[in-house]
A and B are shown apart, each in its own frame.
Chain A
Amino acid sequence: QITLKESGPPLLTPTQTLTLTCRFAGFSLTTSGVGVGWIRQPPGKGLEWLALIYWDDEKRYSPSLKTRLTITKDTSKNQVVLTMTNMDAADTATYYCVHSHMVRGVVPPFDPWGQGTLVTVSS
């Protein structure tokens, strides 16, 4: 069974850097085709994809946020870390960690998702 769990600070002040950790179980990020990503959802609003890292360390970022995002992995700890710089009130959201597994080169859906962690940015 694949599980993912996000952790991070519940509250940040504007301009701070957000560091989120996704700890996962039930799969290995050394397996060919496997990826772990991040998606966020502001309160009462829709979903926004942020970043994804693959087993081979290839990284993908949202075009609109790529200058602020860094995604890394630690396969020995089964975790993925996302950092987002220069946080603003507009970045207040629930941040989800997701699993994906590409097979035969076909881009897969995100499944499953972690429970999410709410991050509030306020002065």
Chain B
Amino acid sequence: SYVVAQTPSLSVAPGQTARIACGGDNIGSKSVHWFQQRPGQAPVLVIQYDFDRPAGIPERFSGSNSGNTATLSISRVEAGDEADYYCQVWDMGNDHPHWVFGGGTKLTVL
């Protein structure tokens, strides 16, 4: 089964850029989606297909994906960006297609 790994936590000062990584074997060949989950709320899609922003998501959110690492970048970080962030991929996996989530990164805004 395909495995994706995320750093458990990241702290960033307001106004700085947060870069959240999602690692997996040749993940650059897959489409990666990113979700933001604020405390007590359901996850919300913030980046789809590696770098596309759904409607209503601020331009401060961007994504990239190459090689073994996909990255979610949040520029000009605000207090409201404090949340857990999860990457997700779809894997064919031995004829048993399934969806895989990273373990999540807790973003703390200092």
Name A's B-contacting residues (CB within 8 A): 37, 39, 46-49, 52, 60-64, 96, 106-116
Residue of B whose beta carbon sits closest to that of A62: B98
Is B110's CB within 8 Å of the partner chain A? no
Complex CA distance for A52 and B99, rounded to whole angstroms:
10
Report yes or no: A113 in contact with B42, Cβ–Cβ below 8 A: yes
Minimum Cβ distance to chain A for residue B21 (Å): 16
Given contacts A109-B48, A111-B54, contact A63 B98 (CB under 8 A): yes
Interface size range on B against A: 20 to 34
Q: Report how many A-B pairs have Cβ atoms within 8 Å.
A: 57
Q: Determine the chain A residues whose CB is within 8 A of the CB of B98 once the complex forms.
A: 49, 60-63
Complex CA distance for A104 and B90, rounded to whole angstroms:
16
Report yes or no: B44 in contact with A108, Cβ–Cβ below 8 A: no
Complex CA distance for A79 and B1, rounded to whole angstroms:
30
Report yes or no: B1 in contact with A113, Cβ–Cβ below 8 A: no
Kindly name the residue among B43, B44, B45, B100 whose own CB sees the greatest number of chain A CB atoms within 10 A.
B43
